[in-house]
Amino acid sequence: MPRPLEALIHLQALQHNLQRARAAAPDARVWAVVKANAYGHVLDRVFEGLRAADGFALLDIAEAERLRKMDWRGPILLIEGTFDVRDLEWCSRLGLWHTVHCEQQIDWLAMHKTEWPHHVFLKMNTGMNRLGFRPDAFRQAWVRLSSLPQVDEISLMTHFSDADGPRGIAHQAQVFHTTCDDLPGERSLCNSAATLRHAQDPAIRGDWVRPGVMLYGASPDFPEHDATHWGLQPAMTLRSRVIGVQHLLPGETVGYGSRFTAPQAMRIGVVACGYADGYPRHASDGTPVLVDGQRTRLIGRVSMDMLTVDLTDLPQAHMGSEVTLWGQGPEVNGQATTLSIDEVAHHCGTIGYELMCALSPRVHVEVLQPHHG
Ligand SMILES: Cc1ncc(COP(=O)(O)O)c(C=O)c1O
């Protein structure tokens, strides 16, 4: 028998979450952001679930090529643009739209020989200070781009640093609008947090939204709001089984470094999942875990291939009991159970994004078709 650890990808959840993005930004078109190999879900596995998107946004040309091989003929946007002048040949060949965020990328375009002029997304740095032209250089970049025969359409974009938090987006949105309100072209501003929290305003919504993490069923602003609040469903489940049971006497310890000491007699379960599978080693005692759909907690340090959970209050749990590390659990008394990846991440000092991206290639993955839930 293979090791009983597996990840499930729920195509139905991807479809549902894409619908949520559409509902939050009515009339806008939706880029499904699938960078980082679809946030760790693997592009080829999520494609069917997200094919109702208007386009796919990513940053590796190799991933764009894979989408074309899957027969995706619609728009693909490279959200970091080109890394080298030769990338433009790939953009022409594969029909990719690309972000332009610096002078060097315009220089490359000016040198590029192509029969097919490109659609570019000119990026403004409105305060994130990662990629993009500062507002005072933005218009000049636009003028330069519009004079190039290699370019036939210029859309305008920016990216928010605080759409998920109290600082919000107003200051950046204002910079964006004052700088480019009179320029023609489609607009794209919103990531998941901005789509869910701010896209009711048509000026913020723009023509294209760029949701990423919400499509995979994680909340972009946890713990302020959880995935249930936003009506999102987990697109990835990581599940395993209890492969060993131990009975501890008071004062005995568990695992490497004896991090956890039993305050009283306890029963613990050993689960086939460790940091070599992508489960974070620094998960703290108390990180939630479902055993047969019932909530319990991680205790002791996570090791390479195993972790340990408290079964003291779950007398019915046994060797072979199903363990949900995150995602959709088994039904209990006819009720669906879930364990939010955001909550697990919170106990590990990180965010759901990092956990999903870190799923290890050694984990067996099953893609569930929509009718299987
Ligand atoms: C330019 C851009 N747009 C959209 C996204 C999607 O963000 P999120 O996953 O928070 O929705 C990202 C992700 O970092 C990004 O860099």
DSSP 40-99: TT-HHHHHHHHTTSSEEEES-HHHHHHHHHTT--S-EEETT--SSTTHHHHHHHHT-EEE
Active site annotation includes 69: no
CB count, 10 Å around CB of 315?
8
Substitution site in 14, 130, 159 for ligand 1 pocket (most atoms within 8 Å of beta carbon): 159
φ and ψ at residue 17, rounded to 5 degrees: -70, -35
Task: List CB contacts of 170: < 8 A, sequence separation 6 or more.
Answer: none
Active site annotation includes 35: yes
Task: List CB contacts of 198: < 8 A, sequence separation 6 or more.
Answer: 163, 168, 169, 190, 204
Does residue 213 have its Cβ closer than 6 Å to ligand 1?
yes
Tens of pLDDT, residue by residue over 208-234, are 999 999 999 999 999 999 999 999 999
pTM of the model: 0.96
Tens of pLDDT, residue by residue over 105-143, are 999 999 999 889 999 999 999 999 999 999 999 999 999
Residue 24 clears pLDDT 90, i.e. is over it: yes
Residue with tokens 């469903």: 233
Reduced to 3 DSSP states, what percent helix, strand and coil does the chain have, rounded to the nearest 5?
30, 25, 45
- Alpha helices, H only, 155-291: 170-180, 192-198, 202-205
216: three-class secondary structure by DSSP = helix
Query: For the chain, how big is the Rg over CA atoms in Å?
Result: 23
- Tokens standing for 84? 């080298």
